[in-house]
Amino acid sequence: MDNAEHLPLQGVRVLELGTLLAGPFTGRLLADFGAEVIKVEPPGKSDPMRNWGKKKNGVGLWWPIQSRNKKSITLNLREEAGQRVLKDLVKESDIIIENFRPGTMEKWGLSYERLSEINPKMIMVRTSGFGQTGPYNKRAGFGSVAEAMGGLRHVTGFPDRPPSRIGISIGDTLAALFATIGCLTALHERERSGEGQVVDTAIYEAVFSVMESTIPDYLLTGYVRERMGNILPGVAPSNIYLTKDETFIVIGANSDGVFMRLCEAMGEPELADDEKYSTHDARAKHMKELDLRIEDWTKSLTAEESLALLETHGVPSGMIYSAKDIVEDPHYKEREMIVPVEHPELGEFPMPGVVPKLSRTPGKIHKPGAVKMGMDNETVFKDILGMTSEEMEELKGNNII
């Protein structure tokens, strides 16, 4: 496998059939750790992600990240000839990733049942808005809708304003993370059973899964968590605070021990013993008053001065970083979280680093997403399937590749 001799997923072959975000992000995560991910696009109709986001010299800046480390082939899965080729690839692969609307793969004759007959070890990772079963399963379901129906939008924003969204596609990303966990779990289980299975990830469920105690809060106490702006209900102090130089910083000091250290940093150690602030519940009850006292202190110092004091006293705190701040931060550099990768059209391209970091077999970024669709057709179809040039020409002539 290309450049993956020592990567932990070396030897695992993945067919990525999905588009845009959730499915391809799963493929990216697997590819970062050495899986041979083969990105499949229909001929003449690219993944829309190629053109999303800001552009430089006409090149989309999201695609090189989302499809890094992957091979690119074209294949028309709507035609029987293309379906036959995919089935041949299934025989030689371990995992299929798809994020079409449920029923699409079945319509093409590519259901898990059909494909598992060809390769009983095949793991099919299926991501959709509402999952493969249930009354909503056939609905179109983008991440934005799943964020809303999973409960996240209801608690995001300020109480005097409409529900807001987070500034990234968090629903799709969460779904991809859960899909990856499911995929690796199924891969590990296959070592014992020798059999594949379906990993069914619903985006709304991925969102709902991180919604903490909102359901027992409601069912057991009648409390419905609402939008609270920059705070969490019952957790104090944990907020943003304005400094002397008109900069906001974040301070999280809601446990008793950390709050005591915050009081020492503020020069008011006696606050930690004040009955209004000495316990978690007391601080929650007097949250607004406490936040004002803390901000009176931060306003007397610059951001740099206050953060230095907080760091000295071991209080979790930090700036609210923009992309500019991230690029200039030495910790990001030391941790290799911005990795330069050579792009054939843009030169040195800054990539977000691989997460998590493995001590002995860390992941690696060795190339950006393929600039042209089907760049690896010959490698995949000839080397893996043993196709001849004549067979490939015939498929090309019939608009299959």
Strand partners for 341: 349
Residue type at 183 in one-letter notation: C
Residue type at 326 in one-letter notation: I
* Catalytic, out of 32, 47, 94, 172: 172
Q: Alpha carbon of 371 to those of 68, 80, 169, 262: distances in Å?
A: 10, 28, 23, 51
**Are 383 and 394 within 8 A, CB to CB?**
no
Residue closest to 25 by CA, chosen among 65, 60, 72, 74: 65
**Are 14 and 93 within 8 A, CB to CB?**
yes
Which bin fits 320, alpha (ψ -120 to 50), beta or left (φ > 0)? beta
**Are 262 and 237 within 8 A, CB to CB?**
yes
Q: Are strands 248-252 and 238-242 parallel, antiparallel or unpaired?
A: antiparallel
Residue closest to 319 by CA, chosen among 393, 242, 387: 242
**Are 201 and 182 within 8 A, CB to CB?**
yes
**Are 150 and 211 within 8 A, CB to CB?**
yes
What does DSSP assign to residue 21? S
Residue type at 397 in one-letter notation: G
Residue closest to 263 by CA, chosen among 275, 249, 274, 248: 274
172 is catalytic: yes
Distance CA 330, CA 337 (A): 10
Q: Alpha carbon of 354 to those of 31, 62, 172: distances in Å?
A: 10, 16, 18
Distance CA 39, CA 47 (A): 10
Give catalytic residues, as residue numbers: 172
